[in-house]
Amino acid sequence: MDTLLITGGAGFIGANLVRLALEKVDDRVVILDRLTYAGCRESLADVVVDSRVDFVEGSIDDRELVERLFDRHQPRAVLNLAAETHVDRSIEDPRVFVETNVGGTFELLEAARRHLAAATADRRAAFRFLHVSTDEVFGSLGETGLFSEDTRYDPSSPYSASKAAADHLVRAYHRTYGMPTLITNCSNNYGPFQFPEKLIPLMILNAVEAKDLPIYGDGSNVRDWIFVGDHCSGLLEVLVRGRPGESYNIGGGGERTNLEIVSTLCTALQEQLPPSENPAMSARGLDSYTQLITFVEDRPGHDLRYAIDASKIRRDLGWEPQSGLAEGMTRTVLWYLENRSWCEGVQGGYDRPRLGLLSR
């Protein structure tokens, strides 16, 4: 049985990808995850019982561990989703972002290089190194235009700079060593298993508790949103059919302002958990979740707009997103309402504070 090595498989996108991979391919799946605050066993509780799954706790920047996994499992592909991802946290403590996102990617590439050097010609030809990146490496758009695969890199935060550096390393290993690498740059994901520091789960859980819904600046910053299941289907499509050395943008065509996104969530919550049936809302005397919206000091270096041109993956690989934004948001709201125990378990003592403000 062939093996896929999925790093960061206990994180938000990783946990969804592992499930889809088990459904779509016959390979054994080895999951490597450090189990930071955003990567948790609870997200894999129904997965690790599968006989095809081997979960390993550890970091991608642990050279000996990574080399041992390559030696033991001889993976036919690496899907690298392990990363520190929250922009606000990168503003407060950029070091761990460089260590994990850059240093960890380097260790994976080096292990893969040594692995391929000892592999047969057929194994080398079949191997793939899929590096999962972000549209944030491209910087900020104005009111018009789209990010394409040829857009110049212009990262604004320590997070996006660390991802950009990792992308460059992956591309260099293809050009220098001939490693069959693939890079994907995706738009903002939403859906099940996302740690509630990110906009959408944060807003859902705050609304359920009738807490303020803080929106940076005036809420006019624009992001392109994609349902996590659609992103994962795109990743598998790139893995199977993508051309080594190429990068592919994966976007959902869900371009909205932050204010529009929060308003959409409020509408979905209004239907799924009417304020009259929510004791926290009743206690505040509120009859609409939109009454919880507040505007707070903007994030330093906050990019104005991201929008993905996904025409290449549509044209070359035939991939299309299946979930419209309204449908995906409703599914997401329902998942968080129905999985409160997961939310409580992963949060621990985290009370959803504001992060990333520079000290004055």
Of 167, 157, 183, 9, which is closest to residue 85 (Cα–Cα)?
A: 157
Q: How would you label 242-277 residue by residue, b for 16+ Cβ within 10 Å and e otherwise?
A: beeebbbbbbbbbbbbbbebbbbbbbbbeeebebee
Largest CA distance in the chain: 69
Q: How many Å from the N-terminal Cα to the C-terminal Cα in the chain?
A: 56
Residue 257 carries which side chain, given as an amino acid letter?
T
For the chain, the residue count is 360
CB neighbourhood size of 74 (10 A): 15
From 84, 159, 255, 303, the catalytic residue: 159
Please confirm, yes or no, whether 153 is among the known catalytic residues: no
The arrangement of strands across the sheet holding 28-33 comes to 53-57, 28-33, 3-7, 77-80, 128-134, 181-186, 247-250
Radius of gyration of the chain (CA): 20
Rounded to whole angstroms, how far apart are CA atoms 284 and 281? Answer: 5
Q: How far is CA 117 from CA 41, 103, 225, in A?
A: 34, 21, 39
From 33, 61, 84, 135, the catalytic residue: 135
* Parallel/antiparallel/unpaired status of strands 53-57 and 77-80: unpaired
Rounded to whole angstroms, how far apart are CA atoms 245 and 77? Answer: 14
Q: What is the Cα 261 distance to its own chain's centre?
A: 18
DSSP 8-state secondary structure symbol assigned to residue 47? T
Please confirm, yes or no, whether 159 is among the known catalytic residues: yes
Q: Which residue(s) pair with 4 in the sheet? A: 29, 77
Q: In this structure, what token pair is assigned to residue 316?
A: 């070359």
Please confirm, yes or no, whether 84 is among the known catalytic residues: no
**Would you please indicate which residues are annotated as catalytic (active-site) residues?**
135-136, 159
